[in-house]
Chain A
């Protein structure tokens, strides 16, 4: 039986990063992946959806051509097949990139389904390759990075061609005339934005009293106003009761403000969250603790069982690719015995929604900060006051910053508008370096840039904004 220092189960943004870091630290590593390298993120999540959303950004920009003095004579048309094909090509290119990276680092990859057979002094794993052959290997350490799958609603059968999960929505055979989306988190909103821009009639069902319920209330409200203006229908405080698929259409029974309504659409997309891939891994036998379908770990990504670690979507929220990659580094460095391995501060993980307009945030929102009893200072700056966004004819949205009034700590930043998913990283660095409002105020921002709005938002928190 072959022996390894570390086996990584799953080759997504958690798993492949863990394998490379461990190899850098001199460990003998094996990566086991059952599907494509790069995981959901690269193949069926972050990356292909960003490729699709770039198309809707183009489409929106075309509408602005006239403002810029450009006349397009003749019809602008598109073929959804080509749009999907490009998105798939992008995924393929990056998945190949991961393959190259692993090869460059001399990391062995076995395609198959790995599971824990025994866990005594060493961890014995079985790898099922294409249903037929089964090999056994032994390892001192294990990182479980098996990711997650869409959360489903009992009684709603995703085998039906008209009922989609995110993966189906990335590769439609044709453009649906209408689509009902259950859930208004990042995934639901990104697809709502895309399909609406492509011309589908979009209705979004949200259980909470507002869309994007994890974001700051003001961001939620602004997003809703912009989306509604662009033609998306939202039903908040509503939930899906049942689905009738008998007429090759979807008739969704929706409970909405204490009454029940029927909503007809061509497709139904479930975007109510995810649940960890914890089945058939041998977790029960090894007595690895799980909670609500996800593995429980400590801040060094250790499970309750010695030498077994878990990272990424299979663990506790937030479920974000960059969190998985970060946890990968922590797990591999801990296994290699490095000292001073830093822990992940869950309040310093940015999150992004790549709809049109984009939404990005980090840290606590206003309500969370107030619920914690913190004395806060809030600054807000609209892109309307930012020169660069006027030149771009993209002045929807704002940046909101929240500071601890007593210490000047940056507690949270919340933004909606053009390219805010790029701007958010400035605040990630600010939070990591523990800057106070003073440091950001004293920073020189290049002019003209969208980032100046970030500066002004901090100034505004202390009633010092210049441009608004």
Chain B
């Protein structure tokens, strides 16, 4: 039987290689252990040795040939009893089988298993509720700090509890154990103590700062949104859906551009006036809120603003906001209209200088030219940082805002 020398596979992922050198030539007698050729791949060079005795009958690939598929025949060796006819007919057979050989390497079950594993959603499918995965160090820390393993959510692979998880958990517990809590009778089971989340701590710290440091004053005005709703209904009759909030964001930026002195923030040694007109939007998320920022609003159309807010809110809810997507800006819109709130005052988001609290738009009797008419009225309340925004400036801005809301076509300019 003729012997077929095939392109070997030097690694599980190798599909092709290069024949760098033939060390035997056609017609040479070969014995087991003789080096026939050198093969080169990504990183390694390997020698092909003969395992049988015979004559090197044919060399199928030239020295230096590249991209030779694994499993393809590179040479044939004629054994003592073979005829030349044997050699050619058997080779045809071997070549026909070849493509199959390669397919097999690509579809081998191990490969698929790896792929399947990497597609698994570890969170949902692989955590067995009965079994708690915990690192030895985390386990020791938990025992030392008298923490029940099941109270902790693991952040390691397969939900494994690691040192960081214990540290985060203990830190929030420590905060609970401050003086105030110590005075409470710990035997009393009529309450449950939830440790502060990192976000809750940030909210608490920033808002306390804001209230303590920024002297707030409040300006309130009614806006007639009848006209705005007409425009909005026209737009929304198509595929596009624009919310009242999108208009409010746009009108706010327009007003900032008209009253650039209000587009500023208080810093310890200076007042910073911004050249771009950015609007932060308060978004409620699990256990808190975050204010992603829409930048350069004055340059954007309503559709773009609307899409961007949706995108940012979506990211905010998933906790995927990048730093630059929620930091900066001088102004925030906070809308509680959807909860039926008529009016409210909001706390400024430091180091910003203003925040606009939006109430629910409601149909109300309005007196126009001594006649009672029904209009949709939305109350808005502006909180200003008096260190940088005085009453007149805040009022000027608020009136500009009102005029854009009541005459939405002006926003087109």
Interface residues on A, range: 20 to 34
Assuming the contacts A298-B323, A305-B324, A407-B137, asked whether A94 and B144 have C-beta atoms less than 8 A apart, the reply is no
Q: Does B227 contact A (CB under 8 A)?
A: no
> B41 contacts which of A100, A406, A408 (Cβ < 8 Å)?
A100
- Please judge, given known A-B contacts A298-B323, A304-B323, A306-B325, whether A434 and B41 are in contact too, CB under 8 Å: no
Name 21 interchain pairs, CB-CB below 8 A, sorted by A. A93-B45, A94-B43, A100-B42, A302-B322, A302-B323, A305-B324, A306-B322, A306-B324, A340-B123, A407-B140, A407-B144, A408-B140, A409-B137, A433-B135, A434-B135, A434-B137, A434-B163, A435-B135, A435-B137, A436-B136, A438-B136
Q: How far does the Cβ of A172 sit from chain B's closest Cβ, in whole Å?
A: 27
Give the total number of A-B pairs whose CB atoms are below 8 A apart: 49
Which single residue of chain A is at the shortest CB-CB distance from B138?
A434
Q: Is the CB of A340 within 8 A of B140?
A: no
| A199 lies within 8 A of chain B by Cβ | no
Ranked nearest first, the 9 interchain pairs of A and B with the lowest CB-CB distance are A434-B135, A434-B137, A97-B43, A97-B42, A100-B42, A436-B136, A439-B136, A409-B137, A435-B136
Identity of the chain A residue whose Cβ is nearest the Cβ of B43 in the assembled complex: A97
- Taking CB atoms, residues of chain B closer than 8 Å to A304 are 323-324
Mark out the residues of chain A between 322 and 337 whose CB falls within 8 Å of any chain B CB in the assembled complex. Answer: none
Residues of chain A within 8 A (CB-CB) of B41 are 100
Within 8 Å CB of A409, what residues of B? 137, 163
Residues of B within 8 A of A340 (CB): 122-123, 155
CA distance A436 to B144 in the complex (A): 14
- 8 additional contacts, CB 8 Å, given A93-B43, A439-B136? A93-B45, A97-B43, A104-B42, A304-B324, A340-B123, A409-B163, A434-B163, A436-B136
**Interface residues in B276-322 (C-beta closer than 8 Å to A):** 322
Query: Considering the complex, which residues of chain A in the window 171-219 have a beta carbon less than 8 Å from any beta carbon of chain B?
Result: none
For B136, the chain A residues whose CB sits under 8 A away are 408, 433-436, 438-439
The complex places the Cα of A435 from the Cα of B324 at a distance, in Å, of 38
Q: Which residues of B contact A433 (CB under 8 A)?
A: 135-136
What separation, in Å, do the CA atoms of A104 and B140 have in the docked complex?
46
Q: CB within 8 Å of B: which of A117-167?
A: none
CA distance in complex: A406, B122 (Å): 33
- Chain A residues in 8 Å Cβ range of B138: 434
Q: Is B354 an interface residue (CB 8 A)?
A: no
Provided the pairs A298-B323, A408-B140, A409-B163 are in contact, do residues A104 and B15 lie with their beta carbons within 8 angstroms? yes
B162 close to chain A: CB less than 8 A: yes
Which parts of A259-280 form the interface with B (CB within 8 Å)?
none
In the complex formed, the residue of B with least CB distance to A304 is: B324
Interface string of B33-55 (1 = CB under 8 A from A): 00000000111010000000000
Residues of B within 8 A of A (CB): 13, 15, 41-43, 45, 122-123, 135-138, 140-141, 144, 155, 162-163, 322-325
Which residue of A is nearest B13, CB measured?
A104
A434→B323 contact, CB < 8 A = no
- The answer to whether the Cβ of A101 comes within 8 Å of any Cβ in the partner chain is yes
| Contact residues in A for B137 (Cβ distance below 8 Å) | 407-409, 434-436
Interface hub of A97, A100, A298, A304 (most chain B Cβ within 10 A)? A100
Q: How far is the CA of A407 from the CA of B162 in the complex (A)?
A: 13
* Closest chain A CB from B289 CB (angstroms): 22
- Closest partner residue, chain B, to A442 (CB atom): B136
A93 cross-chain contacts in B, Cβ below 8 A: 43, 45
Contacting residue for A436 out of B45, B123, B140, CB 8 A: B140
A26 CA to B267 CA, complexed, in Å: 46
Measured CB to CB, the closest approach of chain A to B147, in angstroms, equals: 13
Instruction: Report the Cα distance A344→B138, complex, angstroms.
Output: 18
Report the minimum CB–CB distance from A42 to chain B (whole Å).
11
**Whole-angstrom CA separation of A434 from B45 in the bound complex:** 39
Report whether A434 and B162 are in contact in the complex, using a CB–CB cutoff of 8 Å.
yes
Q: Chain A: which residue is nearest B141 at the CB level?
A: A407
- Interface code A303-318, partner B: CB below 8 Å = 1, 0 otherwise? 0111000000000000
Report the Cα distance A93→B42, complex, angstroms: 8
> Which residue of chain B has the shortest Cβ distance to A307 in the bound complex?
B322
Bound CA span A58–B45, Å: 22
| Chain B: minimal CB distance from A417 (Å) | 27
